[in-house]
Chains A and B, each alone.
Chain A
Amino acid sequence: MKKFLALFLALITVLGLCACTGGGGKETRELTADDYTEDGRLKISVGVTSKAWVLGYDSEENAYTKWIEETCGVEISFVEFANANDAVTQITTSVAAGAKLPDIILLDTGMNRNLVTTYGADEYFVNLGEYFADKTGKSKIFWDRVESEQLSEVDRQLVLSTMFEADGKSVYAIPAFETTVIDYVASMPWISTTWLDKVGKDAPENPQELYDVLKAFKAAGCEYPMLGTNNHHYLGYRVTDWIINFYTYFNNKNPIQLNDGKVEFAFTQDGYREGLKFVRKLIQDGLLTDPYSVQVADVNLLANPADGVSKVGIVFGHLTLFNIDSVDDVIFEYEHLPTWGNAIMHQPTVMMSKFITEDCKPGKRDKAFEILMTMFSEEGSLRHRYGEKGVDWVDADEGAKSPYGFEAKYKLLQETWGQPGFNRWAVGGGFNYMAEGESAQVDENTHDYVVKKFDMFKKMIEDFNASAEANNPETILPILQGTREEQDQYDIAITNIDDRWPKAMAEFIQGTKNINSDADWKAYLDELDRIGLNDYLKYLQTVYARTQK
């Protein structure tokens, strides 16, 4: 029996060792004939996030792929990842399992900044710092676009501070940057003009007026006076953020601000508490549905009822929630409410979304970088956003202006907003500051729907700019990125606070904790103190002192 046991344990050990050595032979890092096609083009594999609305389309055959292949002289094959954030988990588990990564990875919603730093330092992602050191070299397309006048200084610094590591040289990811005002302003509250007409009121301009309007909607029979969601959308506001910004600056994605040279969190401020009190009051009085319960699908359904009469007074979300293709002009019955008090829209999303992996052989990396730069180019961005040139869009007429007075760059051929999924990759976009309307040409052939939509955008942008000007940008900080050592040192405090405050916010809004109770508020602040608030602030202050002053 003892011999059997010994043999059994020995077997386990041998099998375990075999499992951990990984089996197969080591792949050469030099380029071989297998890395080239018959006509001499390099083969590059690209990992892309799958998207529900483009499922089934053929990435390898679409127009964007053909264009990239022709422009860069490569043959592209695809590895399809899971959807959105699940793609990051898939990459993480692949890395842990020692699986080979594709040469290029393009993510839809980007990767957590700390994880990018970790994977860069651990040599899973190639350090692209050398490419960016020479602004006239291979990264010229990038620098030309980032340093163009179309990008504000604030946004430029945001892009650069996000993509460069704390040493100021290393770059492990190329960002996708949705700087276009339209996309991040579009995610906001929309008020029904039908209901406003019914109750004989104007659009509200402060919390008290908002309360009165919602009360009037309810009294007039509006089933859902205000409908919104705190479930994350990668663009723009959440309903409670918009309300809190009546009282204090608050951006849920980066809830820090500067006060007399000191970094502080918005979620410990009195204004934040006042905002939460108002949210709670709206919920208690039946004027706002529980923002943690409303799903996007519900919003969609309620905004577009079959009988054509919306049951919703104010609906919160992105323009696309209105399902604009299927319902006759429902969108035009709503008008947006402006960003009041504090414009959190100073910080558009910079997503760490494009990577070259260490599994990409050194001989392929220049070509891989060229592909990313091609995507980043003006034409690459347009093709990425609007589809095939000559089919979905064409160059603008010479001297033509966009609806907002910019030089027109292109003219859309599609009738509606459109998602030309069959002609593009849908993920890993370029540098989309030339979105629809800002530099699109409108002429007599443009569909009436597009013209109306552009008018709507124009008003949105004017309101946004007016609101943004009213703020003091100095109080608003970009995401502060510490070194890996700093992150490790304060890791527990960062994890604790980042995990706790959003949950506490939900507890206050839902009434599990009483936002009107001083004791509950003090207990909340004490808990944050206990689990590392001061350490976290110390970390942010250190990074701010080093990088921002």
Chain B
Amino acid sequence: MAKSVAAAPQTLVPQKGWRRFAFNCKRDWMLYAMCLIPVVYVLIFNYIPMYGIQLAFRDYKPRKGIWGSPWIGLDNYREFFAFYGSKNYILNTLAISTYQLALFPLPVLLALVIHAYKGKTFKKIVQNVSYVPHFISLVVLCGMLSTVLSPLTGLVATLNKTFGFNIGDLRSDPRAYRHVYVWSDVWQNLGWNTILYLSALSGVPDEVHEAAKVDGASRFRRIWVVDFPTILPMCSLMLIMQFGSLFSVGYQKAYLMMNAANASVAGMMSTYVYTHGIKTGEMGMGQAVGLMNSVLGMILTLIANGVADRLSDGEMALF
């Protein structure tokens, strides 16, 4: 591709406007064709649905359609905040997200360790074994958790009997809910989350490591001064994006793990959207809370990006 650009006479390249765009399309049509699929995807699933944002401010009646449903201003928000558990749901959402955020370094550490290990076979085995849980569906995962954590018949029961432990039912203990939620997520996605970092690390030339070795750097020192700086921009990027999803804990797992006993900590904004919005047909309410999540997420992303921008003189910022 670079060859074709170099071959094009400079004087024939339009400087701006539609002609420049058309010229680029003609020259790099394959790249544009490749872009087309994700662009269409984003259009259909991310932009067109924005049309429905107005539902947050309407009393949506499907029979009347979006335009026919009456405007109700901020009533959906008033109703959400009049719900006695709204504050608790917001705090629960933030608690889970923050917990997950605190474990953000784990995939980075695992990626550094895998990269530093030289045995190729063992490395492959570790990678594959750690990737596999990612492909388990949430429903199956929650079923596994329920079985394993059963104090009557599960692994917990075996531990209690064999070692004389007195572990209660972690499935219904509100104090255990967040730990089970987050650590099962770590188990499921830790390996998968290393992929980006490993691909970034694969770009580090061996010569750099060789030079560091010659300078007397230990293995740990080389990780610290060679590998880690390589993936730091990626870490920053991922961290900024994770800040943006602080209010967006998915409802599926939270809902599947929720029961009457742990509902005080398991109830989150997303479960509220499902139980009080989708299940009861109050789509406007669901949209209102969803929109609030998105706006707050965007604000947090901007703040995180601003902080990263300021601390790194623009090098680590997303935009």
Report which A residues bind B (CB closer than 8 A): 3-4, 11-13, 15-17, 19-20, 88-89, 92-93, 95-98, 112, 115, 118-119, 122-124, 224, 230-231, 289-290, 292-295, 297-298, 301-302, 491-492, 495-496, 499-500, 502-503, 505-507, 509-510, 512, 527, 530-532
Contact = CB atoms under 8 A, between A and B. Distances in A.
A98 B62 contact: yes
B222 interface: no
A123 B64 CA distance: 11
A364 B172 CA distance: 49
B107 interface: no
B63 A122 contact: yes
Given A12-B43, A92-B279, A492-B82, A295 B264 contact: no
B261 A510 contact: yes
19 contacts: A3-B18, A4-B21, A16-B48, A19-B51, A122-B61, A122-B63, A224-B152, A290-B169, A290-B261, A292-B261, A294-B152, A298-B150, A301-B153, A492-B83, A496-B83, A502-B260, A506-B263, A507-B264, A509-B261
A252 to B, nearest CB: 10
A12 B48 contact: yes
B79 interface: yes
B280 interface: yes
Query: Nearest 6 pairs between A and B by C-beta?
Result: A293-B169, A16-B51, A292-B261, A531-B84, A506-B261, A292-B172
A12 B44 CA distance: 9
A5 to B, nearest CB: 13
Nearest to A95: B62
Contact of B281 (A92, A297, A531): A92
A502 B259 CA distance: 11
Interface in B36-69: 43-44, 47-48, 50-51, 60-63, 65-67
A107 to B, nearest CB: 14
Interface of B: 18, 21, 43-44, 47-48, 50-51, 60-63, 65-67, 79, 82-85, 146, 150-153, 168-169, 171-174, 259-261, 263-264, 276, 278-281, 283
Contacts of A231: 259
B83 A88 contact: no
B83 A15 contact: no
A298 B150 CA distance: 9
A96 B47 contact: no
A3 B171 CA distance: 56
Nearest to B280: A115
Contact of A119 (B21, B174, B279, B281): B281
Contacts of A510: 172-174, 261
Contacts of B174: 510, 512
Contacts of B264: 503, 507, 512
A495 B83 contact: yes
A328 B172 CA distance: 34
A297 B171 CA distance: 15
Nearest to B174: A512
Given A16-B51, A290-B168, A492 B79 contact: yes
Contact of B85 (A20, A89, A499, A506): A499
Contact of B63 (A11, A92, A123, A527): A123
A290 B60 CA distance: 42
Contacts of A506: 260-261, 263
Contacts of B283: 96
Nearest to B283: A96
Nearest to A531: B84
Contacts of A95: 62, 281
Contacts of B18: 3
Contacts of A224: 152
Given A15-B48, A499-B84, A503-B264, 15 more contacts: A11-B43, A20-B66, A89-B278, A89-B279, A92-B280, A92-B281, A115-B280, A290-B172, A292-B261, A492-B79, A495-B276, A506-B263, A507-B261, A512-B174, A531-B84
A258 to B, nearest CB: 27
A298 B283 CA distance: 37
A93 B151 CA distance: 37
Contacts of B171: 293
B263 A503 contact: yes
A398 to B, nearest CB: 51
A62 to B, nearest CB: 29
A295 B85 CA distance: 27
B66 A298 contact: no
